[in-house]
A and B are shown apart, each in its own frame.
Chain A
Amino acid sequence: MISLPVVLVFAAVLFGIGLYGVLGQTNAVMVIMGVELMLGAAMLNVVGFLRFAAQDSTSGAFFVLILLTLMALEAAIGFGLVISTFRNRRTAEVDDLTDLSG
């Protein structure tokens, strides 16, 4: 039986995997994927609370819709930048992109 704690634990694991992806991966694509996972975990949290704790809340549902849109936009812009960078520099490794160092 799926309950709120199960959802929350799953979301936490998902967030952890995403965090690892963001911090540990060197490829820009993988970093973006990590961000997607973290956003997804956060959305799962909201959905979980919406399902088990506050079924009458409309703002929760609204928030989920905005998150979905945000994820789509983030993926589109992020991958667009990565492709553009790759075209210019033949690399998508974030550690090579240090032009803005102080």
Chain B
Amino acid sequence: MEALLWLAVALPALGAAATLLVPRPLAGPVAVGGAVLAALPAWVLLAGAGAGETARSALLWLPGAGLELGLRLDGLTAAMTVTVATVGLVVLVYATGYFAEHPRAPSALAGLLAFLAAMQGLVLAGDFLTLLIFWELVGALSARLIAFSREDALAPAGAVRAFLTTRAADVGLYLAVIALFAATGDLAFGAERPGGALGALVGLGLVVAAIGKSAQAPLQTWLSGAMAGPTPVSALLHSATMVAAGVYLLARSSDLLAGWPLEVAGWVGALTAVAGAAIALAQDDLKRVLAGSTSSQLGFMFVGVAVGGPAVGIFHLVAHAAGKATMFLAAGIFQHARGTTSLSELSGAGREDRTAFAAFVIGAASIAAVPPLAAFWSKDAILLAAEENPAWLVLSLLAAAGSAAYLLRPALVLWRGTPVGGPRRAGRPAMLAGAGTLAAASLVLGFAGAPLADLIGGPAPGSSPLSVGLSLGALLAGVVAVLAAPSLPPRIVALARAQLGATAALRALAERPLLLAARAADALDRTRLDAVVDGTARGGLALAALSDRIERSGIDAAVDGTARAIGRGGDRSSRLQSGRLHEYLRDTVLGAAAVAFILVLTAVL
């Protein structure tokens, strides 16, 4: 089992490398093969966990601090790893069709596989340090995938916004992990929350990180921007896996977060469920509708984890992954056919591709909680659990009605709208197969609740006549509302398009102060730090000039002087050699006289 844990992370990474290395025509098959190979260990792990097995494998990371890089298998990781691997496989099959004509197809496929590897590491992580490492990897790789369509100016901008927003929230995870280590000296899961300020920091940090990653209010705006990425990326990252990481984090640390942190998460989730639904209602872009819906459904999961425990939240996560990914894949087929995701230009597209539309409707019905589809049961379990908190129950019912409304609206446009002219492209078989598979999963996953509870532990997702009645009532209300009032008042549309003011608020509260702080830092840089740097440079120049002067006046002068003296001596002595015989003779005579004089003198003395 230990080897399988590492294989589940390593195989997609190897697949990514292989996809980049093989010749271009082979990239698609190799990528799908890598995804299949990556899914095998995940299913074996699920089988093992189903049989009650747990495993843990760790590499020593920092021996001195006792930090380990570890993976673990338990019920929760098994459920997550299978969800990730399976959706990943389906999306990769789909992506081979979606990217078939794209010049950088291998890069996209490899990026998806690399993301899968990081995501598997995230869900299989055995402790908070490993989780943090893969959490960062997931964020970085997702930004790369969103920015894949770099010809489109919106894509890099959306990637930057997504990256920066989630990064800012990731600071919470860092603080939480550091605080946890400071308080307990251990980073294992399942510890009790320490008391005091450190404990508060742990709780708040984890909740903030989950809010950022799962696009909860007020940070939900990045998810809309991320829709500029390719549709398979949206299906894999922004419906099924990456955004679910926040819910997974809550479920994973539900012991650590018991008490007020989960209460905070539940409130954020309930409010986001309503806000996301309102945002989704007002969008004129199919993918943006789905993005708002994802925020809303993730809010449901937050509520589910907060009131019902991990199993309830993860049940909705799995059901939502299947349903929402189906819708994204179907949206990608329409996008492929019409070259756009704008709803007004997609009108009538559903009638032209009935298979894709059928898949879309199944996914939408599941998310809108039409019985007996998967998300009906999971949402029902959340509503049942939320009965203990009336405020959340009301908000959830409102959001449930909203779900029905915002999904019915695009479905009606796709089916009833008048087709606009323009070229058409049929969906590729691989794309239809992907959407069909996940639609089938939406049909059957409703029975997954009880097994998931067995696997994860905690209270089982359930339903009662009351919750079913409330759910159906909300569904009916949403449907009636859309049929009665097909278009919303423009003021509400404008407000919702502006992310209920979250974009403006973020700009005013986060971007402006940050820019001002950056400018102040820049000014400080220029006036103070630059002065220090310039001063140092100027001092260095002065010192250099001084040493230059010393060299010129002292050392050079000495050397030059010696040379000049020798030269002058040479000049003088060369003047002796005049070539005139008489002077030589005179010198000889004088010399001889001097010698004689000395001889006489010594003789006399």
Task: Given A94-B582, A95-B582, verify A23-B577 contact (CB < 8 Å).
Answer: no
Q: What are the residues of chain B within 8 A of A23 when measuring CB–CB?
A: 582, 585-586, 589
Q: What are the residues of chain A within 8 A of B527 when measuring CB–CB?
A: none
Select from chain A the residue with minimum beta-carbon distance to B573: A102
Task: Given A19-B589, A23-B589, verify A101-B577 contact (CB < 8 Å).
Answer: yes
Q: What are the residues of chain A within 8 A of B578 when measuring CB–CB?
A: 98, 101-102
Q: What are the residues of chain A within 8 A of B573 when measuring CB–CB?
A: 102
Pair count A-B, CB < 8 A: 36
Number of interface residues of B (CB under 8 A): 13
Contact present for B580 and A95 (CB under 8 Å): yes
Q: What are the residues of chain A within 8 A of B579 when measuring CB–CB?
A: 97-102
Bound-complex Cα distance A77 to B141 (A) = 105
Contact present for B577 and A100 (CB under 8 Å): yes
Mark A41-80 against chain B: 1 for CB-CB distance below 8 A, else 0. Answer: 0000000000000000000000000000000000000000
Give the distance to chain B from A5, nearest Cβ to Cβ, in Å: 18
Mark B532-574 against chain A: 1 for CB-CB distance below 8 A, else 0. Answer: 0000000000000000000000000000000000000000011
Bound-complex Cα distance A79 to B164 (A) = 110
A31 at the interface (CB under 8 A from B): yes
Select from chain A the residue with minimum beta-carbon distance to B579: A101
Give the distance to chain B from A90, nearest Cβ to Cβ, in Å: 18
Number of interface residues of A (CB under 8 A): 14
Most buried by A among B573, B575, B581, B589: B581
Q: What are the residues of chain B within 8 A of A98 when measuring CB–CB?
A: 578-580
Contact present for A31 and B580 (CB under 8 Å): no
B576 at the interface (CB under 8 A from A): yes
Bound-complex Cα distance A97 to B579 (A) = 7
Q: Which residues of A in the span 80-102 have a Cβ within 8 Å of any Cβ on B?
A: 94-95, 97-102
A39 at the interface (CB under 8 A from B): no
Q: What are the residues of chain A within 8 A of B581 when measuring CB–CB?
A: 28, 31, 94-95, 97
A14 at the interface (CB under 8 A from B): no
Q: What are the residues of chain B within 8 A of A100 when measuring CB–CB?
A: 577, 579
Bound-complex Cα distance A28 to B582 (A) = 10
Give the distance to chain B from A19, nearest Cβ to Cβ, in Å: 7
Bound-complex Cα distance A101 to B573 (A) = 11
Select from chain A the residue with minimum beta-carbon distance to B586: A23
Give 9 nearest A-B pairs by CB, closest first.
A101-B579, A102-B577, A98-B579, A102-B574, A94-B581, A100-B579, A101-B578, A22-B585, A98-B580
Residues in chain B within 8 A of chain A (CB atoms) = 573-582, 585-586, 589
Residues in chain A within 8 A of chain B (CB atoms) = 19, 22-23, 26, 28, 31, 94-95, 97-102
